[in-house]
Structures are given as structure tokens and as C-alpha cells.
């Protein structure tokens, strides 16, 4: 049985007409404990359905060390039909109340140990397509705040430059990393429609985000050029959040190198990919 609690919207930042950052605070109770990479459900009464409560799951962009609010980055999908809950969220105002479930899910929780019990010191590659970047905002903030010394690389894919919702935040983290011996972080984004006029200022990587894993003429992928070595299941752990096509696109390239997912782990229990699909 789903247990909902009321939560108040305390902050809304409209990034573009169909992309928003929203913060929620549960009412009448403390912030519940949760793990980085989890999600929770938000419920809204739908006016056209006699205010029937409809729930949808959203990845949490804030990290557990933040005890002030839950943060989400939400896309308003309007085709082929508008999302019922997201439509209501986009018409909501600060101070409005929604119904909130408890944090749940372990598909994208961070691994700290290998199956044999040794510490997992592999570099972490986070791949977010569109709003699939949300859990990796939490990853970056959590791993930094806890002093995790693993190399962390966040890859974000979008169609347009104004869909890179946390670009300034991630760029700031990379600048901090350049001046630190304890924080090893890099951020790279990919724009899939570079020829469209709105993206004319873009000079970074082009193509879908999974193209970071595609080998170039000399055999190395852009990701391997960035890290300075071949990525293998022994030195790299990959986390992916996005459409199934994004997940399949990454796996198409890394399966050849021996990467397997948690769902298809090897006989010894090892794996090097965890993912969550939202379509």
C-alpha cells in the first residue's frame, strides 16, 4: 500500500517552457532518510478526472546530506499526450501542496564494495540523457561531501544547450577539482542537434551522449581520450539514467569490452553497469 505525505513546493525555477527545477519539503514531519540514486513518487489530483490522485516517479537530484529539501528536474512531455502529473506540476506555484511517497529504489544506488568484499575504487562514469541527469547531480554532491576519492565523470546529453540543466553547477565542481588533491571530477556534455540555430554557440561534443563511448579512428573513444586509458570493467563502473535507447547505445559499445549489467552479472557476482530507464 502506498503511503503518501503532504509536501509543500518551496522553490520553482523554470529553465525553459518545458523544463523546471522544483524543491519540496514534507509537511508535519522531518526529512526522511534516503540513499543517493533513489527516487520518490509525487501525486497530484487531476482536475479533468474528478481530482483523482495520480502518481509518477521522479529521480531525486538532491543528496542525502541535504536535510532541507528534495530537489527534482522535470521535463514536461506533451507529445503524443501531455503527462498528467507533470502538467499539474508545471501549473503549480510555490506554496502549493503535492502528495509525496517515501524514497525508494536501488537500481542506481552507489556501490562501495566489490562482490568479494574489497572496496570498489573504480572510476565512476555517470551517463544522463535529458532529465536522466538528476541522480548524478546527487552523485556528484554526495561523493564530494563524503570525501570519496574515486575519479568521477558526469556525461550529459541533450538536444539543445538550454536543456543542460546543471551545466553551471557541474562546471563549478570541475573547477574546484582542478585545485584539489582530494576531488577528481570532470563534466562533459553532448548536444545532439548542433546544426540548429539555437545551438550555434555550442563548441563542445556533438551527437548523442552514448557517442562518448564510440571508438574513433585511432581506436579510442572520446571518453578514453579524456581519462587517458582504455576503460575496462576492472577500472570503471558505469551508471546510466535515461531512455532505454541511451542505455542500449552505451551497452552496444561497452559490452565488447566485457562490461555486463547488474541484471546480467557474471557467475562471481561481478558487474560494471547499473542503469535505470524511464521509457
Does residue 1 surpass a pLDDT of 70?
Answer: no
Give the start-to-end residue ranges of the domains of the chain: 5-100, 123-277
Residue range 115-135: mean pLDDT, rounded: 97
Cross-strand bridge partners of residue 154: 126, 187
- The topology (CATH level 3) of 5-100 is Elongation Factor Tu (Ef-tu); domain 3 (2.40.30)
CATH annotation of 123-277: 3.40.50.80
Question: What is the C-alpha separation between 276 and 240, in angstroms, rounded?
Answer: 6
List strands edge to edge, sheet with 205-206.
205-206, 185-191, 152-158, 123-129, 236-242, 273-277
List strands edge to edge, sheet with 39-46.
52-59, 39-46, 97-100, 5-16, 19-26, 70-75
Retrieve residue 30's grid coordinates: 522531518
Question: What is the C-alpha separation between 141 and 154, in angstroms, rounded?
Answer: 12
Q: What is the pLDDT of residues 18-54, one digit of tens each?
A: 999 999 999 988 999 999 999 999 999 999 899 999 9
- Tell if the pTM clears 0.85, that is, is over it: yes
∠ at Cα 20 (17, 23), nearest 5°? 155
Amino acid at each position: 500500500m502506498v503511503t503518501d505525505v503532504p509536501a509543500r513546493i518551496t522553490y520553482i525555477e523554470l529553465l525553459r517552457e518545458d523544463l523546471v527545477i522544483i524543491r519540496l519539503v514534507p509537511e508535519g514531519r522531518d526529512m526522511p532518510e534516503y540513499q543517493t540514486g533513489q527516487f520518490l513518487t509525487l501525486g497530484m489530483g487531476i482536475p479533468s478526472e474528478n481530482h483523482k490522485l495520480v502518481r509518477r516517479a521522479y529521480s531525486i537530484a538532491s543528496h542525502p546530506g541535504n536535510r532541507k529539501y528534495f530537489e527534482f528536474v522535470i521535463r514536461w512531455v506533451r507529445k503524443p499526450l501531455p503527462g498528467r502529473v507533470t502538467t499539474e506540476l508545471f501549473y503549480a506555484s510555490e506554496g502549493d501542496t503535492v502528495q509525496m511517497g517515501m524514497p525508494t529504489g536501488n537500481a542506481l544506488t552507489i556501490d562501495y564494495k566489490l562482490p568479494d568484499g574489497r572496496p570498489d575504487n573504480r572510476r565512476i562514469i555517470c551517463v544522463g540523457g535529458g532529465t536522466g541527469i538528476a541522480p548524478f547531480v546527487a552523485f556528484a554532491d554526495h561523493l564530494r561531501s563524503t570525501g570519496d576519492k574515486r575519479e568521477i565523470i558526469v556525461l550529459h546529453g541533450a538536444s539543445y544547450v538550454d536543456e543542460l540543466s546543471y551545466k553551471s553547477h557541474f562546471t563549478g565542481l570541475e573547477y574546484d577539482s582542478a585545485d584539489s588533491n582530494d576531488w577528481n571530477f570532470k563534466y562533459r556534455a553532448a548536444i545532439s542537434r548542433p546544426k540548429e540555430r539555437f545551438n550555434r554557440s555550442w563548441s563542445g561534443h556533438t551527437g548523442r551522449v552514448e557517442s562518448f563511448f564510440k571508438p574513433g579512428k585511432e581506436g579510442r573513444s572520446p571518453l578514453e581520450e579524456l581519462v587517458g586509458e582504455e576503460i575496462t570493467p576492472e577500472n570503471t563502473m558505469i551508471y546510466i539514467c535515461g531512455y532505454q535507447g541511451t542505455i542500449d547505445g552505451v551497452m552496444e559499445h561497452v559490452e565488447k569490452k566485457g562490461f555486463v549489467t547488474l541484471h546480467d552479472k557474471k557467475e562471481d557476482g561481478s558487474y560494471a553497469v547499473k542503469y535505470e530507464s524511464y521509457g
